[in-house]
Amino acid sequence: MGRLVFFHGVVGAGKTLALLTKAHRYKQCERNVLIVKPELDTRVEKVIKSRSGLVSSYDYNISTVEDVLNIKLGETEIMFVDEVQFLSEDVINALRDIATETEVTILCYGLKTDFKGRFFEGSKRILEIADEINELNAVCFYCKENATMNLRIIDGKRVYEGDQILLGFDEYKGVCYKCYRRN
């Protein structure tokens, strides 16, 4: 049986960097690796890119259970999933089924909560059913304490209301709770 593992952290914690680094290491060891990302993540087309500038191609875009079922696993040993928070509960369940029914280990990376401190659907489900959960820590953008919240900033102003998903790079900062609530 494979394993379903979740790596989470706030914006800027290095989730995508960790994914790309680990995938590269596995490929160097001649392991069979697949990289997938949600179709919803359109910030950078045809590649996965970390804030540090590391870039890699990926194998599949997924958004539905059918997309997951159409992944050709072949000799895959490890599947990496970026931005897992954007996936639905059903898609997370399908990933869980793959890990349970095959020898494929699935390493998922994403945010746990949104800019309001609320769970994303995909993150909530993977927290409920993952074999292992790991937090990647970050330092608060303002005070250098441990960052635990994702702060949305639009036109230089803190935003606490609005749609859960607003794709971007510079619109978010990882901050501690005290700095999150500061006016």
Domains of the chain and any CATH numbers: 4-137 (3.40.50.300)
CA–CA separation, 28 and 22 (whole Å):
10
pLDDT at residue 123 in the model: 97
Name the residue among 46, 45, 35, 30 with its Cα closest to residue 71: 35
Whether 66 is catalytic is: no
Which residue is it, tokens 């749609």?
163
pLDDT at residue 174 in the model: 95
From the candidates 83, 103, 128, 171, give the one annotated as an active-site residue: 83
CA–CA separation, 64 and 107 (whole Å):
18
pLDDT at residue 62 in the model: 92
What is the full per-residue pLDDT of the chain (183 aa) written as tens digits?
Answer: 899 999 999 999 999 999 999 999 999 999 999 999 988 665 556 777 787 777 788 888 899 999 999 999 999 999 999 999 999 999 999 999 999 999 999 999 999 999 999 999 999 999 999 999 999 999 999 998 999 999 999 888 888 887 766 666 578 899 999 999 986
pLDDT at residue 162 in the model: 76
> Residues 6 or more apart from 60 whose CB is under 8 A from it?
34, 35, 36, 37, 67, 71
CA–CA separation, 175 and 180 (whole Å):
6
pLDDT at residue 58 in the model: 85
